[in-house]
Structure 1
């Protein structure tokens, strides 16, 4: 089994685009479901806590927010000192079953990279399974994720980014080479969710096509690229 590690995330690149996180539909989806004080959130891959903080500020009640991220660097960059930072990965966490009222993430899945496509897919499945496990019964899993409904172009992007990252080649303006990415498809996400008919219920799913720059469009690799949004309740 391959254990080759690549740069699958870039904290400095995230900070460049962090303000876009405030546009997330996750914020409203959580705050409209907060109906009592001291509900808990696990913000998976939450970086500096920008989404968690927006939820805290908008919530009608006090929220206990936790950011789970692999980069310790973010601990010193938290936008709110009231957020609890936990260094770690959703794949290998020490949380007990039914730990959180809300488990949220934004654009995390395509950065979960280990080895080749098969190993990566297994880890993406594992990540979803862990999020279901640590969510309390009656709680919610709410997320946004960039998806690519063309398996072929998704695999091409995976190997292009992997090769470019390994030999340290970067393509200006499209971020190829900065990080390795493996985009899931709607079908892949739905297949995972369908495995838990007695444990979860999808309350909302929405898919919005992205309008890319001419440079990206010219590659023909993002023609079936969408932003997916899910609200899922744990029922069992």
Structure 2
């Protein structure tokens, strides 16, 4: 299947999403705002000010916003950006990616509530701390990246590096952000029986629950779950 051009559609959705965020606040076109004042008007909490500024830069790089020092002006041409239209266009042209595209839309529609601190960002990506939605999308969306190649090669590379060390020396590994375990579980399988102490951290409950179900693969392993905000 030829998916050439899908990247352009994803980028268009991102640009439209940035504009949609501003539409919600009825920001005036062609009016010059001090960026700090605009962020205040948008009620962006400190932890998300850089993210909001990043959205401004996306619009600027596509010619819809002008940023001069600490000032910003949203051009009237931004009116042509329609998130729903961009999403439907992408889904119609690439139906195999419809689940992923719809998920992206649902996430960007939460910019306002997350930036205001009304909702945790991670709760948008992982409702109730679960990975069900992400996993379902991954299982039903074509993978056009090189990710599977890297995932397959990575455990073998780590094993090779470990075997080059002193045989009786315990190796300690720390993985930051276990996530769905896409790296963790293949690596643990590869390192079975080796003198390894493995630590991981993760923000959600699901990884910990999965660990309990998969204790059969435990090598000399120590598990650590950290709720990192």
TM-score with structure 2 setting the length: 0.31
Name whichever structure is richer in strand by fraction: 1
Q: Which has the larger radius of gyration?
A: 2
Question: Which is bigger in relative contact order (C-alpha 8 A, separation at least 6)?
Answer: 1
Name whichever structure is richer in helix by fraction: 2
TM-score with structure 1 setting the length: 0.31
